[in-house]
Structure 1
């Protein structure tokens, strides 16, 4: 850890999830939409992804994420970097919830260590963190190599994996909780991270997460979403997956 980060950590720690927390959408699907619009032929990945869906119970989140990334097959790192910069410029920060950007700014003004901890691929989460001004940004590390493999190796940065990786850099939290820390999430999958924080804020939480937030005295924010009901959200997400968003 750098001396600057250590000084900030002593003042406070702010941990932010990204998808659904700072931005309404699943950015993995948004990035796919962006790439498919650049190279329409990559839409051919979709039948492959659909073919693996029945095996979700075997492959799990991590395995299906590898399959989903097949649309980037044979992409060279320089091309991927160009797409990442253009995608982030288009979608961040203008599409983020203003309420969460404001919270981030307050933590920065207070001199806290700000960390973006997302399950989305780190190859674009690192750029998201840079553009939004986070001190640190962690996402799912994805094998790129000289060209992106069909099913790239990765370690899903989700649930307890976030705490494990954060602890590698920040140090293990004493008594399981980082001092003067505040976590932000929209998902029950982040409960390990939230439980390692002194305070928490949930963003448009599910019914279950709303109940947990009430039990643990976490704040609940409900910023406006860019869809009208579940059917409209599913329709828009399907369009993004096909590069038609």
Structure 2
């Protein structure tokens, strides 16, 4: 497999979609997408005695808000931009909503004491970004400033369209979709320790194990 570092470690010749459609998080299908990702973030928070979830690319934050409803002592911070974060600010209470473009923001206006109470989740976001590297740098910055770990998810192209499908993705809001090998190489290009790398359900409607779930921590942190 010939991977291209300049193409975010996708297979050479992969055709990205630029620009993608803006993802307006307004799905009313009744299906919960990536239902196991936020519980994994909560489990990581509990293991490390953290009381906050920072959600990068939260959309309308339905799963984040539901997690807090089920765990009232949990603090939440959602990060997004455009109509999604405007909607959160208008309709959701009990959280903090930060407007930030994940293709350029590599820090957030958060004090170290807040970050030190947190774990990070970035659920099915990186595939929407024309340049996903700033978002990964932001995750590294949060880890460096005390976040216990970060839970990432993204589609597994090899389990959906097939590894030989070299783009663009069928989803019009996706720039790219990585295979498991490609995404491992992408994540490994950043200064993080990979503590978990496997597949999880894409949805609760029988979609199968076609979503990659990855837990990363600072390289010197204990294993999860």
Per the TM superposition, whether the score is higher than 0.5 is no
> TM-score under structure 2 normalisation?
0.40
Higher helix share: 1
Higher Rg: 1
Higher strand share: 2
> TM-score under structure 1 normalisation?
0.38
